[in-house]
Chain A
Amino acid sequence: MTNKDLAYNGYLFAMWQLGRFFSFFVLLFTVVENYQHNDIFKESLTIKPLSDGKLLTHFQFNVRTNEIKEGKAFSHYKLFPRAIGQIIQSYNAHELHLTFTQGRWNYKDWGYPIVPSAGTGVELWAWLWKDGKLDKNWKSLTNALAGLFCASLNFIDDTITVQPKLSFRPEGLYNATELSARAELRYGSLPHENVCTENLTPWIKLLPCKSTSGIASLLNGHKLYDSNFHSMSIHVRPVCQGFECLNKHLEIVQTVSAVVDPVRNSGKRDWSLNQIFGRQLSLACPLAEESKLEVILSEDGDYKLSPDADTVVRKNDGDATIALYNLKNLQLDTDISMTWNEDVFKYNLNYEQPRVYAHRFFTGYGQERGGIKVNIFNKSTNFTVPIIYYDVIPWFLKLYLHTLKVQINGEEVQDSPIKDLYYQPAVDRSRPNVIEAELLLPPNSITTLSINFDKVFLKYTEHPPDANRGFDIGSAVISSVGEGFSYLHDFVTRNCSEDIPTTACYHFSIRVYTETLLVSLPTPDFSMPYNVITLTCTVIALFFGSMFNLLTRDFVALQSNEGDKDKESKD
């Protein structure tokens, strides 16, 4: 063997060693990476025929990660959207809830929504950690989200921001004592905000598969916004992993709900995916651990699902039967449809109504003063329901708390149902009125709250360009509390599917949103500024000039020359 051969062999050996070493590292990295990046993505589409023939379609996308932790820098994102992760981290948010809604959820006919829907417009609330610059963080958060979603969230300033004291408790995992000591809640809503495709596009971009595959491929702006109601939301919150809650995960839940009306087109409530969304269902998102379609079936009625569901589950707590399709097993270009054996849809007159719902409206006339009245219905025959009523009235309506009246079934009662009242009076141009009241609703009753207000006269620059359209007043919110929560369970528990332990299931409390209101304020004449300045200043000058004249000049007699006078008389 020559030296050359030896050297060659040595080289080979070294390369082999290096290769082994390298492959070991590749393996190690893979293991470590798989261990670290166990992001979980699940998607589901829920379709529910409603009692008035309309159809609720509800998309839900969940991504969980155990990477992002409070106070720990992190930059390696896999399925969790980087845009949201960075916002959560840089502005020190514990929880974040953002909902875009257009239209009003009709509680009376449709029951409760699958996730709380929020009132028309945009609603943002977040629990932020106190780090000395919390208010700055909130401002930055609204601005960042405004940029991300092409929405006017940056208009949530001090005159709109509220710190609810009783409502909007955290929905994820939290430690009550830690939270009260270290975090604060901020809430803001923009009822005037219009929701459209420019908000949906960035929302879809946050999904792991975008809209290329999976149920997200059905999200079609043209069909989605041609609906009676639609709501799009993002909820970010910490959750538990496993029964013992050993690991804290960060979860993002993205939902889109829309209520479409098949009866409007055909007179029948038959539907197919192609018909509602105008698109074909493509294959399940490959990144999804679970991709399913559920149809919530009503008890009675002669209907047929095609193709047949993979499984039909009967829930023993709510009396719903659910047909489940696993989209991972579905053939390409399958169109799921539901047909009813009836010629024309007949309205069901004795549908089951939700137990608690509310309506709010204005009273009075004229542009000087008025009142707000809320009717809160408790339809249950034998339960007293505790609720929290939350209402934010902008500063330009001056509330008079001494006019607050509570009536039950139209009569004043001795024992006031208000158990606790938190009231923050508005300050002109800096903060809104906030009413939070803990109420006990007697069984089978209508509780009426009413309060009077004065309308404030705004400066002409404070009016919007379309001043006579009026100002939007955001929804009042009725939240369930304590015992009332478990009692009010309707669809909410359904979110806790079998494989997820109850501690980790989506702990959405029930919130009922009332109508948004439109108030017209007295307007000045917008073309008058120069005229008013000149007229008013003239009047002041008139007084000043006359007084100055009288105060500074004395009277004198006009003594003409005697000679002149004689001359004049002669002439």
Chain B
Amino acid sequence: MSSKDKFTGVLIFGAAFAVRLILFQFSNITEILGSRVEIVTPVTSFTRLTEGLYLFENGVPPYDGGAFHQAPLLLAFFQLLGYLPDIFTKLAFILMDLILAYCLTDIAGIKQQLYYNFPKLEIELKDNEIDPWIVAGFYLFNPLTIASCLSKSTIIFTNLSIILGIYYSLKYNKSYGMFWITMATYLSFYPFMLILPLILFFTNNAESRGKNIKSEIFSCVGLFASWLSGLLMLSYFLVGSWDFLGATYGVILLLPDLTPNIGLFWYFFIEMFDQFRSFFLVVFQLHAFIFMVPVSIKFRDHPLFSIFILSGIMAIFKSYPSIGDASLYLAFLPIYSEIIKYMRYNFLTTNIFCYCSILSPIFYHLWIYAGSGNANFFYAITLVYTIGNIILLVDATFAMSRREFDIWNPDLRNYEIIQK
């Protein structure tokens, strides 16, 4: 790594750290962000974590109530942080964002090495690939990331675990890789669907590394299962009962808390007729997981791209999505900067993101505070946001497939390409 590279890195990380630290000093900013429904959800809210911690420390079972829905290990982590001065909690959130970004840099570097010998398009041969530091920069200076970090949303723990899982898997460190993806699953359940692409990391190069594909799969699944049972047992010993399963995964799956967020679930299940509630709950949750296998198969040579698509699906179709989820999957897009030239709706999606960022707080205010709008205003914005994300994901999938086609069929360049 050249000194110029290092300088870019220090500059980006230093600036990101400074921006966050300065903004953390304005307690009204963090308070406002920490109470926005777009940024924090019932399963990631720091206020609710504080409440759970308070109950836990005062001998009231934290999961025997309707307020706290986060994993027990978070309780333990923040109990330890509680012994330190208040500033350390803020530093912890900043630090996690920086570690996450640093891992992204490495992931981008490893991906570029990994696909170095892969065939490329002619025009790509001239350009350099994207600087990994820029990938980190895109993540760190994404307004969604900054807002999510300042709100102290605990989604950052899930995001960091996912990134660490990918990072160690790309380094072929099986037990760490599996541990972190288990941790992500343990924290917010949906990252379970990322296990398939992660296993593909190990199997794709298994033969060149002298490993047996079957044994790789079995060891990954075994590690996942044992880490998961370990984490659950540890949580059980921590809080002394299994109540936390219902209060965390039960809430994520069954949606008893209908607080608005930017996802599709809340208004749908507020308005749903009681007799169809269970049916649609099953359909919606299955729909989120149904893409796990086909996406992994389609992009079996590009597991990282599968992760990009699947984490995007999580960010749209999970039961309590927040902009923190979106910030994670948007961070993968710069790593695949080569597909951007194939994407058809960049202008549209960019505009939709801007449009939603401005109108969603306004419409929420009109409904909840001013009383001059109703719930449909905010609902409409969540639909637009979801459609924006959908267009981006579908466009990325299209671009990736189309680029692959062009790489393998350079001779068909002058023909009109259609789908079979």
Residue of A nearest to B53 (CB): A402
* Residue contact B419 to A549, C-beta cutoff 8 Å: yes
Q: Which residues of A contact B418 (CB under 8 A)?
A: 555-558
* Min CB–CB distance B327 → chain A (angstroms): 20
Among the listed stretches A47-55, A72-80, A83-91, A521-529, which one makes contact with chain B, having 4 or more residues with CB under 8 Å of it?
A521-529
* Min CB–CB distance B247 → chain A (angstroms): 9
CA gap between A93 and B192 in the complex, in Å: 53
* Residue contact B419 to A459, C-beta cutoff 8 Å: no
* Residue contact B420 to A555, C-beta cutoff 8 Å: yes
CA gap between A460 and B258 in the complex, in Å: 11
Q: Of A395, A398, A424, A551, which one neighbours B295 at CB under 8 angstroms?
A: A551
- Encoded as 1 (CB less than 8 Å from any A CB) or 0, chain B from 268 to 285 comes to 111111100000000010
Among the listed stretches B2-10, B62-70, B105-113, B161-169, which one makes contact with chain A, having 4 or more residues with CB under 8 Å of it?
B62-70
Residue of B nearest to A429 (CB): B256
* Residue contact A550 to B368, C-beta cutoff 8 Å: no
Residue of A nearest to B68 (CB): A425
CA gap between A540 and B393 in the complex, in Å: 13
* Residue contact B412 to A456, C-beta cutoff 8 Å: no
Chain B residues 388-420 with CB under 8 Å of chain A are 390, 393-394, 397-398, 401-402, 405, 409, 412, 415-420
Q: Of B54, B66, B258, which one neighbours A395 at CB under 8 angstroms?
A: B66
* Residue contact A554 to B420, C-beta cutoff 8 Å: yes
Q: Does A12 contact B (CB under 8 A)?
A: no
* Residue contact A459 to B369, C-beta cutoff 8 Å: no
Known contacts A554-B419, A559-B415; A401 and B51 CB within 8 A of each other:
yes
* Residue contact B375 to A525, C-beta cutoff 8 Å: yes
Q: Does B147 contact A (CB under 8 A)?
A: no
Chain B residues 32-57 with CB under 8 Å of chain A are 35, 47, 50-51, 53-55
* Residue contact A461 to B274, C-beta cutoff 8 Å: yes
* Residue contact B291 to A547, C-beta cutoff 8 Å: yes
Q: Which residues of B contact A528 (CB under 8 A)?
A: 271, 375-376
CA gap between A459 and B368 in the complex, in Å: 16
Q: Does B11 contact A (CB under 8 A)?
A: no
Known contacts A525-B374, A539-B386; A456 and B257 CB within 8 A of each other:
yes
CA gap between A196 and B264 in the complex, in Å: 46
Q: Which residues of B contact A454 (CB under 8 A)?
A: 259
* Residue contact A547 to B268, C-beta cutoff 8 Å: no
CA gap between A532 and B374 in the complex, in Å: 14
Q: Does A426 contact B (CB under 8 A)?
A: yes
Residue of B nearest to A404 (CB): B54
* Residue contact B419 to A401, C-beta cutoff 8 Å: no
Between A423, A544, A555, the greatest number of chain B beta carbons within 10 A of the residue's beta carbon is seen for A555
Q: Which residues of A contact B376 (CB under 8 A)?
A: 525, 528
Known contacts A425-B60, A457-B266, A556-B420; A539 and B383 CB within 8 A of each other:
yes
Q: Of B55, B273, B367, B402, which one neighbours A522 at CB under 8 angstroms?
A: B367
Q: Of B379, B405, B420, which one neighbours A532 at CB under 8 angstroms?
A: B379
Q: Of B53, B256, B383, B402, which one neighbours A428 at CB under 8 angstroms?
A: B256
CA gap between A524 and B284 in the complex, in Å: 21
Residue of B nearest to A528 (CB): B271
* Min CB–CB distance B399 → chain A (angstroms): 10
Between A400, A402, A456, the greatest number of chain B beta carbons within 10 A of the residue's beta carbon is seen for A402
* Residue contact B272 to A529, C-beta cutoff 8 Å: yes
CA gap between A319 and B357 in the complex, in Å: 69
Residue of A nearest to B397 (CB): A550
CA gap between A398 and B68 in the complex, in Å: 10
Query: Which interface class (under 10, 10 to 19, 20 to 34, 35 or more) fits B?
Result: 35 or more
Q: Which residues of A contact B258 (CB under 8 A)?
A: 456-459
Q: Which residues of A contact B409 (CB under 8 A)?
A: 557
* Min CB–CB distance A430 → chain B (angstroms): 9
Known contacts A367-B368, A525-B375, A533-B271; A426 and B66 CB within 8 A of each other:
yes
Q: Which residues of B contact A398 (CB under 8 A)?
A: 66-67
* Residue contact A558 to B394, C-beta cutoff 8 Å: no
Q: Which residues of B contact A536 (CB under 8 A)?
A: 264, 267-268, 383
Q: Does B287 contact A (CB under 8 A)?
A: yes
CA gap between A366 and B376 in the complex, in Å: 17
* Residue contact A556 to B419, C-beta cutoff 8 Å: yes
Q: Of B67, B269, B295, which one neighbours A400 at CB under 8 angstroms?
A: B67
Residue of A nearest to B267 (CB): A532
* Residue contact A524 to B420, C-beta cutoff 8 Å: no
Q: Which residues of A contact B335 (CB under 8 A)?
A: none
Q: Which residues of A contact B259 (CB under 8 A)?
A: 454, 456-457
* Residue contact B412 to A539, C-beta cutoff 8 Å: no
Q: Does B294 contact A (CB under 8 A)?
A: yes
Q: Does A368 contact B (CB under 8 A)?
A: yes
Q: Does B260 contact A (CB under 8 A)?
A: yes
Chain A residues 492-525 with CB under 8 Å of chain B are 522-525
Q: Which residues of A contact B47 (CB under 8 A)?
A: 400
Residue of A nearest to B64 (CB): A425
Q: Does B211 contact A (CB under 8 A)?
A: no
* Residue contact B375 to A366, C-beta cutoff 8 Å: no
Q: Of A425, A461, A559, which one neighbours B66 at CB under 8 angstroms?
A: A425
* Residue contact A401 to B369, C-beta cutoff 8 Å: no
Q: Of A426, A458, A540, which one neighbours B65 at CB under 8 angstroms?
A: A426
Q: Does B225 contact A (CB under 8 A)?
A: no
* Min CB–CB distance B208 → chain A (angstroms): 27
CA gap between A549 and B395 in the complex, in Å: 12
Residue of B nearest to A544 (CB): B287
* Residue contact A459 to B270, C-beta cutoff 8 Å: yes
Q: Which residues of A contact B417 (CB under 8 A)?
A: 555-558
CA gap between A228 and B51 in the complex, in Å: 42
- Encoded as 1 (CB less than 8 Å from any A CB) or 0, chain B from 295 to 334 comes to 1001000000000000000001100000000000000000
Q: Of B54, B274, B397, which one neighbours A547 at CB under 8 angstroms?
A: B397
Residue of B nearest to A522 (CB): B368
Q: Which residues of B contact A524 (CB under 8 A)?
A: 267, 270-271, 374-375
* Min CB–CB distance B131 → chain A (angstroms): 30
Q: Does B387 contact A (CB under 8 A)?
A: yes
Q: Of A522, A543, A550, which one neighbours B398 at CB under 8 angstroms?
A: A550
Q: Does A35 contact B (CB under 8 A)?
A: no
CA gap between A72 and B259 in the complex, in Å: 53
* Min CB–CB distance B251 → chain A (angstroms): 9
* Min CB–CB distance B280 → chain A (angstroms): 8
Q: Does A245 contact B (CB under 8 A)?
A: no
* Residue contact B65 to A425, C-beta cutoff 8 Å: yes
Residue of B nearest to A545 (CB): B394
* Min CB–CB distance B304 → chain A (angstroms): 17
Q: Does A546 contact B (CB under 8 A)?
A: yes
CA gap between A367 and B397 in the complex, in Å: 41
Known contacts A400-B51, A522-B367; A457 and B64 CB within 8 A of each other:
no
Q: Does A365 contact B (CB under 8 A)?
A: yes
Residue of B nearest to A399 (CB): B67
Q: Does A542 contact B (CB under 8 A)?
A: yes
* Residue contact A460 to B51, C-beta cutoff 8 Å: no
* Residue contact B55 to A401, C-beta cutoff 8 Å: yes
* Residue contact B60 to A423, C-beta cutoff 8 Å: yes
Q: Does A246 contact B (CB under 8 A)?
A: no
Known contacts A522-B367, A523-B375, A556-B417; A458 and B287 CB within 8 A of each other:
no
Q: Does A139 contact B (CB under 8 A)?
A: no
Chain B residues 184-208 with CB under 8 Å of chain A are none
Q: Which residues of B contact A540 (CB under 8 A)?
A: 264, 284, 287, 317
* Residue contact B419 to A553, C-beta cutoff 8 Å: yes
Chain A residues 353-370 with CB under 8 Å of chain B are 365-369
Q: Does A535 contact B (CB under 8 A)?
A: yes
Q: Which residues of B contact A456 (CB under 8 A)?
A: 257-259
Q: Which residues of B contact A551 (CB under 8 A)?
A: 294-295, 298, 397
* Min CB–CB distance B89 → chain A (angstroms): 14
Q: What are the 5 tightest A-B residue pairs by CB atom distance, in nearest-first order?
A: A425-B65, A402-B54, A557-B415, A557-B412, A558-B416
| Other A-B pairs beyond A457-B266, A557-B416, 16, CB < 8 Å | A395-B66, A401-B51, A401-B55, A427-B66, A456-B259, A461-B273, A533-B268, A536-B264, A540-B264, A542-B390, A546-B394, A550-B398, A551-B397, A555-B417, A557-B409, A558-B418
- Contact sample, A vs B, 5 pairs, CB 8 Å cutoff: A366-B368, A402-B54, A425-B65, A543-B316, A558-B418
